[in-house]
Amino acid sequence: MLKEEFLVLLSNHIWLYLLLALLSFILYFLLFKRYMYTIFDPILFYLVLEFSFWLSDIIFLNLLGYLKIYYLIHFVLSQLFFLLGYYVFKPFKYKINKLKAFQNSIPKNSNYIELIFVISISLYFINQLIVYKYLGIPLLMKSRWETFAKGGGLGIFSRIIQVTRFISVFLLFYYTMYFRNNIMKKFIYTVLWIVIIIFSLLSGSKMGILEIIYICFFAYIYFYKLGINTTNVEKKIKKLVLILLILSIVGALIIVDIGYAIIHNFDKQEIMSFNLDTLLYSLVGIVGRLVMNGYIYILSYPNDAMWNLERGNPFMNLFGGLLAFFRIIPYKDMPIEFGYRIELYHYPNIGYITGPTVHFDVFGLFNFGFFPSLLFAFLVGLLFSLVYNGFYYIKSKNFGYYIFFSAIAFYSLTLPLNVGVTLVYLLNVLIFVPIIFVISRIVSSGAMKSKFKAQNYELHGRFYNNLYEPMEKGGEKNI
């Protein structure tokens, strides 16, 4: 089914869809309610909201006769097996105000942590500017996925940006919220926030700024468990989150508007123009983005469309990104992403890289078949549970250790959306975060040794000066 055909169905049966979306949201909200700690908990978006629209799209198409009961049954069973895996490592069952504090003091602002921040944010800014200069600005491309599509080793910039962005936001939140900064530091931190927000906007991702809120959430949980979130700190956090939330909505509107203009080859003046029609289109685009969370089902299931594609090697389809990363296979031999393939099937003349994310149930059904895909769904739920729910049980007082596991938990959120891509994200964290930490530790240790030597020389100098000073004046020195 084409996107346009689905939108016509949607407009003709809008009240049916809204009812399905509401009931689906209530269902998933009740399933995950006890494991969400604030309204800004990423579970609300990545599981509750995403799954709600997936279910709504599936049932909607089935009720109107465009989707076989076979696919509906498979979807429901896949969800059940995912939830079984999710509940293996049970999350906390109590609210955030009952999280047990394991320390009652703020982490020491050591040279090591400062160096991690300086190195991370420097690498983030430098690599981002290199990408803009040599590959272009993703926001101004027909598809942001074209940025690193050619390979050639340039993907290293994307990997470094992904990791350093997380660390930078995490530590910037730390320095902004938990320290009484002077005017100069406040100014510097404000500028850094603005630059990070601008980079998130230029990424072309409608989730770019919203992701900043979710990174801050992981930092918030850590400091909450430290028992240092005073009333004043809570007020500062709420203010920051409110600003970021407003900017995320405005940013999404801008991205939808510019994206539409670029795809339809508008000139610069038309792109920069903004009026009521543009605003309404952008708003509809954002709502459409939520509705089209089930876009992979719309393209794949009606008329058994996905079975017209060649399956290929399931192992390569899942782990091709990891194998290409280690150069076990050439980048050019990586399998073409299923989402792009199914988009090309329906729109053969599209001319740029785009397509829906390949949800774990669709990937499993296409690559492994009906029953093996249920086992795959369970394993995805199990891995997600192990990584994400396990994050809440970390009680280490080591700040760097916690940043590392926060990054893993954050990038595990996309596991249900696209397993293969998420595995690459997690690999990036496992490789590049330790490298940054080791470099910071070496530099920090070197700086401490230099400082110690300088202090040593100063002490020795003072000792000998005191020792010989009276003799220079003709007196004697008692030792």
Q: What is the 3-state secondary structure (H, E, C) of the chain?
A: CCHHHHHHHHHHCHHHHHHHHHHHHHHHHHHHHHHCCCCCCHHHHHHHHHHHHHHHHHHHHHHCCCCCHHHHHHHHHHHHHHHHHHCCCCCCCCCHHHCCCCCCCCCCCCHHHHHHHHHHHHHHHHHHHHHHHHCCCHHHCCCHHHCCCCCCCCHHHHHHHHHHHHHHHHHHHHHHHCCCCCHHHHHHHHHHHHHHHHHHHHCCCCCHHHHHHHHHHHHHHHHHHCCCCCHHHHHHHHHHHHHHHHHHHHHHHHHHHHHHHHHCCCCHHHHHCCCHHHHHHHHHHHHHHHHHHHHHHHHHCHHHHHHHCCCCCHHHHHHHHHHHHCCCCCHHHCCCCHHHHHHHHHCCCCCCCCCCCCCHHHHHHHHHCHHHHHHHHHHHHHHHHHHHHHHCCCCCCCHHHHHHHHHHHHHHCCCCCCHHHHHHHHHHHHHHHHHHHHHHHHHHHHHHHHHHHHHHHHHHHHHHHHHHHHHHCCCCCCC
Once rounded to an integer, what is the mean pLDDT over residues 116-122?
92
What is the pTM assigned to this prediction? 0.83
pLDDT at residue 327 in the model: 78
Once rounded to an integer, what is the mean pLDDT over residues 84-113?
62
Q: Which two tokens stand for residue 210?
A: 């919203």
pLDDT at 47 over 60: yes
pLDDT at 36 over 90: no
pLDDT at residue 474 in the model: 46
pLDDT at residue 274 in the model: 53
Nearest alpha carbon to residue 177 among 241, 114, 125? 241
Q: Which two tokens stand for residue 380?
A: 């995805």
How much is the mean pLDDT over the chain?
A: 79
Once rounded to an integer, what is the mean pLDDT over residues 85-104?
60
pLDDT over 70 percentage in the chain: 77
pLDDT at 199 over 60: yes
- Check residues 99 and 371 and name the one with the higher pLDDT: 371
- Alpha-carbon distance 147 to 159, whole Å? 13
Name the amino acid, one letter, at 377.
Answer: A
pLDDT at 293 over 70: yes
pLDDT at residue 321 in the model: 79
Nearest alpha carbon to residue 384 among 333, 422, 335, 338? 422
pLDDT at residue 472 in the model: 43
pLDDT at residue 253 in the model: 73
Exposure of 201 by Cβ count < 10 A (0-12 exposed, 13-18 middle, 19+ buried)? Answer: buried
- Alpha-carbon distance 371 to 379, whole Å? 13
pLDDT at residue 151 in the model: 54
Q: At 194, phi and psi to the nearest 5? A: -60, -45
Once rounded to an integer, what is the mean pLDDT over residues 269-273?
54
Q: Which two tokens stand for residue 193?
A: 């926030």
CB atoms within 10 A of CB 360: 25
Once rounded to an integer, what is the mean pLDDT over residues 75-90?
90
Which residue ranges make up each domain of the chain?
Answer: 3-442
Tell me the per-residue pLDDT of 309-326, one tens digit each, with 9 for 90 and over: 988 888 888 888 788 777
pLDDT grade for 337, boundaries at 50, 70 and 90: confident
* Cβ-Cβ contacts under 8 Å for 473 (sequence gap 6 or more): none
pLDDT at residue 394 in the model: 72
pLDDT at residue 467 in the model: 42
Once rounded to an integer, what is the mean pLDDT over residues 299-313?
89
pLDDT at residue 275 in the model: 53
Once rounded to an integer, what is the mean pLDDT over residues 271-293?
61
- Check residues 445 and 371 and name the one with the higher pLDDT: 371
Name the amino acid, one letter, at 74.
Answer: H
The alpha carbon dihedral of 142, 144, 147, 151 has a sign of: negative
